[in-house]
Amino acid sequence: EVQLLESGGGLVQPGGSLRLSCAASGFTFSDYGMRWVRQAPGEGLEWVSSISESGGSSYYADSVKGRFTISRDNSKNTLYLQMNSLRGEDTAAYYCAKVIVVGRNRYIDVWGDGTTVTVSS
């Protein structure tokens, strides 16, 4: 069974740091691009970051560029999101997501259950 299990969320003060992890199982992790998507309380979904299969390419939303870093360790089947200089508006559930390519279409076919980040003093 394909599974994504996020961890590392919690309460952090403004300006602080957290590292989220996402442990993947049930598929060949190194064959798939991955993403982080977040959802603030009561709000909609927001794409945060993407990383290629090898980790050689990464992309960020403007709202997190320069503060967040996505990475992956294919030997450990794990995706990471290093979050620095956290702000109140980063408070959200963070979802790890697996991206599949079918023909010329790519989409998220598997989501983790999410981990919650709360930025507050």
Partner 1 sequence: AIQMTQSPSSLSASVGDIVTITCRASQGIKNDLDWYQQKPGKAPKILIYGASSLQSGVPSRFSGSGSGTDFTLTISSLQPEDFATYYCLQENSLPYTFGQGTKLEIK
Contacts to partner 1 by CB under 8 A:
37, 44-47, 50, 59, 61-62, 95, 102-109, 111-114
23 versus 61: smaller Cβ distance to partner 1 = 61
CA-to-CA distance for 100 and 93, rounded, in angstroms?
22
Taking the least distance from each CB to partner 1, the nearer of 23 and 108 is: 108
Q: How far is the CB of 96 from partner 1 (least distance, A)?
A: 9
Which residue's CB is nearer to partner 1, number 75 or number 105?
105
Least distance in angstroms from the C-beta of 113 to partner 1:
6
Q: How far is CA 55 from CA 3, 12, 51, 105, in A?
A: 20, 27, 6, 20
Contact of 4 with 17, CB cutoff 8 Å:
no
Q: What is the DSSP string of 82-110?
A: EE-S--GGG-EEEEEEEEEEETTEEEEEE
54 vs 59, which CB is nearer to partner 1?
A: 59
Q: How far is the CB of 54 from partner 1 (least distance, A)?
A: 18
CA dist 23 and 100 (Å) reads: 17
Q: Which amino acid is at 17?
A: S
Q: Minimal distance in Å, beta carbon 47 to partner 1?
A: 4
